[in-house]
Amino acid sequence: MLKISGLNAGYGKFQVLFDVDVEVKKGKIVTIVGPNGSGKSTLIKSVMGLTKVYSGKILFKDEDITHLPTHLVTKRGISYLPQTGNVFGNLTVEENLMLAGYTLSKEETKKRIEETLEEFPLVKKYLRKKCGFLSGGERQMVAMAMAMMRKPEMILFDEPVASLSPKAAAEVLKKIMELNEKGITVILIEQAAKKALQLADDAILMTSGKVAYKGSAKNLLAHPELGKVYLGIKGK
Ligand SMILES: Nc1ncnc2c1ncn2[C@@H]1O[C@H](COP(=O)(O)OP(=O)(O)O)[C@@H](O)[C@H]1O
Ligand SMILES: [Mg+2]
């Protein structure tokens, strides 16, 4: 569904990614792990047209999206939840959802909000609250609901549970799995590697802007050296 080949990308003249080849199959959950600064965020930002791509190709459903601007990538069916700042704190939940539908007609937006709230019953409870007053977990749910407003085929999550309590993190991860069960392909960046790998089909390990491992998530979890060196996983 998503095919990245020979990707060299970065910011201005500062190259971050070197010859990255990655493939994501439809319907899967793929977790990207790796140390801080290894290029995980840069990889998914490249998909969204938020970096400078020097060479290489990014195909989504066999179509070249390499140099598309962000809003057109979104329109093709990919939603992106950045690590921070994914909701507007001074706006209510409802206003945030309305913003997420900005390319849709007013009626379509209303209809989509209703449908989305059915999928996110918890979000319905605090519809008129300002997002700034919500807990981290609640905000992440709102961000996910916003991403769903566009009926994406693929969602890219950048460390969605990084700053959450274990309980809130578990809820968010559960929701991500539910969305995946409905057919949405998921790319998930996580530092808390073990949990995120346990729920993934495939895994990509990034180190210094290169792909150090790609394959089944199970194999990476079981890999004694890669796991120990890069992920702090100490056996079972
Ligand atoms: N907007 C930016 N401008 C310049 N350099 C950046 C920018 N964002 C990230 N970098 C640099 O790119 C490298 C990879 O960062 P990033 O992809 O965020 O890593 P990760 O998500 O794996 O922690 C780091 O050296 C970081 O300092
Ligand atoms: Mg990052």
* Structure tokens, 213: 């491992």
Evaluate if residue 236 carries a pLDDT over 50. Answer: no
- Residue 183 Cβ inside 6 Å of ligand 1? The answer reads no
Q: What is the pLDDT of residue 225?
A: 72
Local confidence band at 40 (pLDDT 50, 70, 90 cut-offs) = very high
117 vs 89: CA distance, rounded Å: 19
Rounded alpha-carbon distances, angstroms, from residue 192 to 34, 166, 167, 220, 228: 10, 11, 14, 14, 13
- Residue 38 Cβ inside 6 Å of ligand 1? The answer reads yes
* Mean pLDDT to the nearest integer, 164-175: 92
pLDDT tens readout for residues 53-83: 999 999 999 999 999 999 999 999 999 999 8
For the chain, the structural domain boundaries read 1-77+152-160+187-235
Q: What is the pLDDT of residue 221?
A: 85
Q: Does domain 1-77+152-160+187-235 have CATH number 2.60.120.260?
A: no
Phi, psi of 48 (to 5 degrees): -85, 5
Q: What is the pLDDT of residue 103?
A: 78
Evaluate if residue 197 carries a pLDDT over 90. Answer: no
Q: Which atom of ligand 1 is nearest to the CA of 159?
A: 21
Q: How far is the CA of 128 from the centre of ligand 1 (A)?
A: 35
- Residue 37 Cβ inside 6 Å of ligand 1? The answer reads yes
pTM over 0.75: yes
